[in-house]
A and B are shown apart, each in its own frame.
Chain A
Amino acid sequence: MNLLQYRKVYIIVAVLILLFNVAMLATRGLNYGVDFTGGTTIRFPLAKPVTSPEVMAALGTPELEELDLQLAPPQPYRYVDTSGRQRYGVQVQTKFLNPEEQELVIAALEKAFGSAGEDTGLEVYGVDPLIGREMLSKSLVALIVAGALILVYMAFRFEFKSGVTGLFALCFDVMSVIGLFALLQKQVNGTFIAALLTIIGYSINNTIVVFDRVRENLRFRKKDETFADIVNFSILQTMRRSVNTSATTVVTIFLLYLLGSASIREFCLAMMVGFTVGTYTSLFIAGPLWAIWKGSEERKKDRRRALAGAR
């Protein structure tokens, strides 16, 4: 089977998808969570479901108006807990509240919908805008540093070209997840960055397994074999392993997605998409791209050698 027959098609499609994702990011932008913008998120548990306007009304008291809460539309949510009970709640997002203001908002919610009490799932997360900006820049630095170090390591263990192709595959994976989150306007927060970095780790893992095979097979290369033949052979050899591994991991994360609470779902979504895309890229982007690049280089060398021989 020759997987690399259409290698140029894979890369063109990949570049188109990449451009689509960049366009998504550019036009729609990301829905940054309080981690990066600063603000307070309150997840308030409820005995029965409510609607967003009801919550808006409950928070419309003159006392709270004065605080200028900058309230985003409240989002009701529901889930089934491990004991099988249906739970309800509402997520309220405001500007960053200091502890006193936070108590006021919770008191207003308690007054309208009953006490959150002891035995419930109240959750509050507040970040000062100052810290938010810092977190965003730190996260970007983490992504870039991780990428650069991976490039260096791969260039050292394999060759520079494989490092670059591996990095391209990584950018593709990361952009796919970012593009999807921009498209769906899902919230981007600190755990999203953790998810991205894990995807990077996992995807590079897959790519390296393929490249490792290529490195090994090159040692037993026959005269008439092109570089693309070797890459093709290596991909076929490692395909079952890649699919097996990714399938088990994605299934585990899918479980976490199904059973997990709302706060962990977006993390799982990012991981599932990233891992699936990552498996695809390691097989159909990283390898073929390396084959194209290296192949053209080898052809050039051959031509030069042929010319020299003719003379």
Chain B
Amino acid sequence: MRKDLRWKFWATIFLVFLCVVFVVLPYFSPNLKSRFFKGQDPVRQGLDLRGGIEVILTPDYRVERRVLTGIMDELRSAVTGVDVASPIIRLLGRAEQNRHDGLELIFTSGEEVERVLAARVIKPEMTWRSGAEEKRLKVRAEASTERPEVLKVFVSEDPANFPKDALAQARIIIERRIDSTGLTEPAVWLDEANQRLQIQLPGITTQEEAERLIQTTGRLNFRLGNRIVMFGSDLVDARPGVDQREGLPVIHFKFGKVGARQFEEITRDNVGKVLAIYLDEELLMEPVINEPIPGGEGQITLGRGATLKQANEYAVLMKSGALPVSLRTVQITQVAPTLGSEIVRQSLLVAGIGLLLVFLFMFVFYGVPGLLADVALVIYGLLVLGIMTVFRGVLTLPGVAGFILSIGMAVDANILIFERIKDEVWNGKTMRAALAAGFDRAFVAILDANVTTLIVALVLLILGTGTVRGFAVTLTIGILASMFTALIVTRIFMEILVDRKPERIFKRLGGGEVQA
């Protein structure tokens, strides 16, 4: 064997060996799996293949009913200043967690609506105050398209009401909460630019479970009557425990300095009253204030029949409930785990049959070189898996499609090369010269063709969302790997073969006299 071929050959073998040890063997050996990947699969499967729930959350800037009712009068007096009859005011849109899109003002005629809009009496910004709360609101008035006598007033909270990194804080809190449940491989991503929080919960099968982890994470608040008197953002700790005297489950809680002072004031002035604890608009508990609580440390005794597990859940909710901003779900994907594994089986079946067809095709059309290309194809497959593993990529269903597709492109590169070599042999070149010329000429075509496809894949990667991105990742890796195997690995094999038995290769690729 030629010297340069020898080291190239062994380098390829070494690469294949690495891939096999790193990617393939761990599937069969739990020992290697735990050593390399902490017990997980080398190529991680996406949610659509393993089953589970994924939700995408965004800050909920819609306002609560109590705020909307609070600004009703202000709005009414503003519009009646323009010489129109006092309108009927109703909540706008569907209630969701007690939040609405705004208000609708129903006048007697469309002409009145126009007059109100023309006078610009509805200001784009309003402020609402109640108890400890103050909210800046963004207001947008718009005539209804279906009913001209209705003026829609969209009201939302000014994002400036919340800390700038509210979503980042929310992410940390949700992550902590999910971690405490011991779920395997949950994932939380923050998309700062679009203000999105993406949460994947593999293995979870019902919305109820998912909701317990994320949906209820609202702002913790304490209410006297219907008025919020304090927010839970200064809560330092909340732990479950058992009361020494009565053996009932309790929640120990502790406030920071500011919260402690505030809490002391409230409890001192309202002994005997109910201090309701809410998460957002959802009632959590209604404990009675037995005595003033100084120093910010105290306990809530749960009633009879309550379990320690419940106390724990409440404690977790209270602690992590101190979300700086409320969130709403904008996208839900839920896949049953059995469906996922069924899809994996399906894809493997199709990929297997597809590969078999391709192998047969290459052998029938191109003989021994075709067989070499088949070997290169196997190496290509291993390489793609290897790269996916190294970068800890996640394989999704569209990703599998991208993979199957790039097999086609890998085959194509080989076909291109072989057809070129055939042409060169027909033109009367010797086998060795034809091989070199064939690879060189095919290289330009393969490069141009793959670069354009790569452009498409990269555009998808950058502009695509969710599923499309998974597809783009495997397509990109696939294109790069296919170029490598076709132009380098196949070539090494072919040259070795030509070196040894030129006549074998020649039989299929050319005609006429055998010239080595």
Mask for B331-352, Cβ within 8 A of A = 1, else 0? 1111110110011011101100
A37 CB, nearest partner CB in chain B, Å = 13
Residue B262 CB within 8 A of the other chain: no
Question: Residues of A contacting B472 with CB < 8 Å?
Answer: 194
Known: A157-B448, A201-B453. A126 touches B331 (CB 8 A): yes
Whether B468 pairs with A252 at a CB distance below 8 angstroms is no
A256 CB contact (under 8 Å) in B345, B404, B459: B404
Assembled-state Cα–Cα distance A136/B343 (Å): 27
Q: Determine whether A284 belongs to the interface, using a CB cutoff of 8 Å to chain B.
A: no
A260 and B346 contact, Cβ closer than 8 Å, known pairs A208-B452, A240-B419: yes
Contact with A146, one of B330, B335, B349, B459 (Cβ below 8 angstroms): B459
Q: How far is the CA of A264 from the CA of B346 in the complex (A)?
A: 11
Q: Is A40 an interface residue (CB 8 A)?
A: yes
Q: Would you call B332 and A124 a contact (CB within 8 A)?
A: yes
Interface size on B, residues (CB 8 A): 73
B118 CB, nearest partner CB in chain A, Å: 30
CB distance from B465 to the nearest CB of A (A): 6
Q: Does any Cβ of B come within 8 Å of A64's Cβ?
A: no
B467 x A191 contact (CB < 8 A): yes
Interface string of B454-468 (1 = CB under 8 A from A): 011101100111111
Known: A205-B409, A259-B349. A124 touches B333 (CB 8 A): yes
Residues of chain B within 8 A of A198, CB atoms compared:
402, 405, 456, 471, 475
Say yes or no for B416: interface residue by CB 8 A criterion: yes
Nearest to A251 among chain B residues (CB) is: B357
A205 and B338 contact, CB distance less than 8 A: no
Residues of B close to A119: CB separation below 8 A: 338
- Among A122, A130, A198, max chain B CB count under 10 A is at A198
Residue of B210, B415, B452, B471 ringed by the most chain A CB atoms within 10 A: B452
Q: Does B134 contact A (CB under 8 A)?
A: no
Using an 8 Å CB-CB cutoff, how does the interface string of A124-146 with B read, 1 for contact, 0 for none? 11111011000100110110011
Q: How far is the CB of B280 from chain A (nearest CB, A)?
A: 14
Residues of A within 8 A of B346 (CB): 81-82, 259-261
A201 adjacent to B456 (CB under 8 Å)? yes
1/0 per residue, CB under 8 A from A, across B368-409: the answer is 000000000000000000000000000001100110110111
For residue B64, give the distance in angstroms from its CB to the closest CB of chain A: 16
Instruction: Say yes or no for A212: interface residue by CB 8 A criterion.
Output: yes
Q: Given A120-B336, A123-B336, A237-B423, are A261 and B354 neighbors across the interface (CB < 8 Å)?
A: no
Residue B207, interface by CB 8 Å: yes
Return chain A residues, CB-CB under 8 Å to B55: 99
The complex places the Cα of A131 from the Cα of B328 at a distance, in Å, of 13
Query: Which of these, A122, A125, A271, contacts B332 with CB under 8 Å?
Result: A125
* Interface residue from B215, B328, B453, B465 paired with A202 (Cβ < 8 Å): B453
Which stretch of A16-24, A54-62, A222-230, A242-250 is in the interface?
Answer: A242-250
- Distance between Cα atoms of A213 and B449 in the complex (Å): 12
In the complex, A216→B450 CA distance in Å?
Answer: 18
Q: Check B459 against A205 for contact (C-beta < 8 Å).
A: no
8 A Cβ contacts from A237-287 to B: 237-238, 240-241, 244-245, 248-249, 251-253, 255-256, 259-261, 264, 267, 271
Q: Which residues of B contact A185 (CB under 8 A)?
A: none
Interface hub of A124, A154, A205 (most chain B Cβ within 10 A): A205
A102/B449 contact (C-beta < 8 A), A241-B416, A259-B349, A261-B346 known: no
| A127–B334 alpha-carbon span in the complex (Å) | 12
| B450 proximity list for chain A (CB < 8 A) | 205
- CB of A150 closer than 8 Å to a CB of B: yes
**Does A197 contact B467, Cβ atoms closer than 8 Å?**
no
Q: How far is the CA of A102 from the CA of B402 in the complex (A)?
A: 32
Chain B stretch 202-240: residues in CB contact (< 8 A) with chain A: 205-208, 210-211, 215
The answer on a CB contact under 8 Å between B401 and A267 is yes
Verify if A103 is at the interface (C-beta below 8 Å from B): yes
Query: Is A209 engaged at the interface, CB distance under 8 Å to the other chain?
Result: yes
Q: Are B335 and A123 in touch, CB under 8 angstroms?
A: yes
Determine if A197 and B459 form an interchain contact, defined as CB atoms under 8 angstroms apart.
Answer: yes
- Do residues A194 and B467 form an inter-chain contact, with CB atoms below 8 A? yes
Residue of B94, B336, B411, B444 ringed by the most chain A CB atoms within 10 A = B336
Residues of A near B357 (CB, < 8 A) are: 248, 251-252
Check if B333 sits within 8 Å of A125, measured CB to CB: yes
CB distance from A97 to the nearest CB of B (A): 8
- Complex: A126 Cα to B407 Cα, angstroms: 32
The answer to whether B460 and A194 have CB atoms under 8 Å apart is yes
Q: How far is the CA of A153 from the CA of B452 in the complex (A)?
A: 7
A102-B332, A193-B468, A256-B404 known; A244 vs B456 contact (CB < 8 Å): no
- Are A241 and B468 neighbours in the complex by a CB distance under 8 Å? no
Within 8 A of B (CB), among A180-236: 190-191, 193-194, 197-198, 200-202, 204-205, 208-209, 212-213, 216
**What does the 1/0 interface line of A92-110 toward B look like (CB < 8 Å)?**
0000001110110010000
Instruction: Name the residue of chain A whose CB is nearest to the CB of B211.
Output: A99
State whether A256 touches B412 (Cβ < 8 A).
Answer: no
A49 within 8 A of B: no
Q: Are A212 and B336 in contact (CB under 8 A)?
A: no
Answer whether residue A149 sits at the interface, using C-beta atoms and an 8 A cutoff.
yes
Q: Given A102-B207, A260-B346, A261-B343, is A245 in contact with B463 using a C-beta cutoff of 8 Å?
A: no
> What B residues does A135 contact at CB under 8 A?
465
Q: Give the chain B neighbours of A120 by CB distance below 8 A.
A: 336, 338-339
Q: Please, what's the 1-or-0 string for B497-514, where 1 marks a CB less than 8 Å from any CB in chain A? A: 000000000000000000
Closest partner residue, chain A, to B53 (CB atom)? A124
Which A-B residue pairs are the 8 nearest by beta carbons? A121-B339, A249-B408, A201-B453, A252-B354, A128-B330, A124-B334, A126-B332, A212-B445
Q: What is the interface of chain B, defined by CB distance below 8 A to chain A?
A: 55-56, 94, 96, 205-208, 210-211, 215, 328-336, 338-339, 342-343, 345-347, 349-350, 353-354, 357-358, 361, 365, 397-398, 401-402, 404-405, 407-409, 411-412, 415-416, 419, 423, 441, 444-445, 448-453, 455-457, 459-460, 463-468, 471-472, 475
6 contacts between A and B (CB under 8 A): A99-B207, A123-B335, A201-B475, A209-B445, A252-B357, A264-B397
